[in-house]
Amino acid sequence: MPMVQPYLTEEAVARLKKKQTAADAGLAAELLHHSPEVTLEALLHLFRKVLLTETVPGTWKRTIFNMLPKTRGAKSTSDFRPIAVVRLLYKTFACLVLGRIEATLDAGQPEEQHGFRADRRRNLWEALGEHGVSDHMLRVLQCMYHGQTGRSGDNTIDRDWLCIGGSVRQGCVLRPLLFSCVLEVALGCWRRIGGNAGVDFQDGIDILLFAKTFQETKFLLGELVTCLAKLGYTSTWRKQKYLQ
């Protein structure tokens, strides 16, 4: 395993976005942006230990969700939008991991997927392995994601921590890249079924499908749903449009 060099920690801190919601301990990215050298050295020591032992602090696996109402007079759970507040040190470490794996994953993306750059967990690890991520980094990622818990950020009520069992972690900087990687596995399978049908990708999510007949279109869309379902994806067709 290559040793983490000091400049990699500095690059990870530089990736943190400014003017974001502070973590549950009140820590904001600006704190690390203006930290003295001794703080960065402590971060470097911590990150080296995590990579060496393939074990992350338990607090990194906890996520606070601030529930924002979608409409006035919101009452039911569907009336609220959960916004994840991730621990600052976890987010910084995730930036470091992103720097180590993104070149490998980008090299495995097809040309039409490059615009995105952004299931079930077993399929996620298989997809990352197929894209060339090392076994060591796979174990580190699994450690970061396994055993996640979360709860509402309402401090007026003593709430239990609930297990988070699926999907890539909301609020994690790795999320777009991991999502794109697994999506590419499903779409790669679908391309082979599509044969001569024209397929184009917009921003990694929107799909343009060119087929000769309506029946062919119907068949290909059905196969797409099947390929996505095998990896735990649910298809949403509310914005689907047909042009003849």
Say what the pLDDT of residue 120 is: 44
Round to whole Å and give the CA distance between 177 and 179.
5
In a 13 Å sphere around the CA of 68, the CA atoms on its Cβ side amount to: 6
Say what the pLDDT of residue 240 is: 60
Range of the domain at 147: 6-69+81-184
pTM above 0.85, yes or no: no
Say what the pLDDT of residue 114 is: 35
Which stretches in the chain have pLDDT values below 70? Answer: 1-3, 24, 107-123, 154-158, 165-170, 194-207, 232, 234-244
Say what the pLDDT of residue 96 is: 93
Residue 165 lies in a domain: yes
Residue 202 lies in a domain: no
Residue 15 lies in a domain: yes
Say what the pLDDT of residue 22 is: 74
Q: What's the start-to-end Cα distance of the chain, in Å?
A: 55
Residue 59 lies in a domain: yes
Domain count, the chain: 1
Residue 204 lies in a domain: no
Say what the pLDDT of residue 92 is: 92
Say what the pLDDT of residue 41 is: 92
Say what the pLDDT of residue 43 is: 92
Say what the pLDDT of residue 116 is: 32
Instruction: State what percent of residues in the chain have pLDDT above 90.
Output: 15
| 203: region left, alpha or beta (phi > 0 left; psi from -120 to 50 alpha) | left
Residue 147 lies in a domain: yes
Say what the pLDDT of residue 160 is: 81
Strand (E) or helix (H) holding 31: helix 29-33
Residue 121 lies in a domain: yes
Helical axes 37-53 vs 6-15, angle rounded to 10°: 100
Residue 215 lies in a domain: no
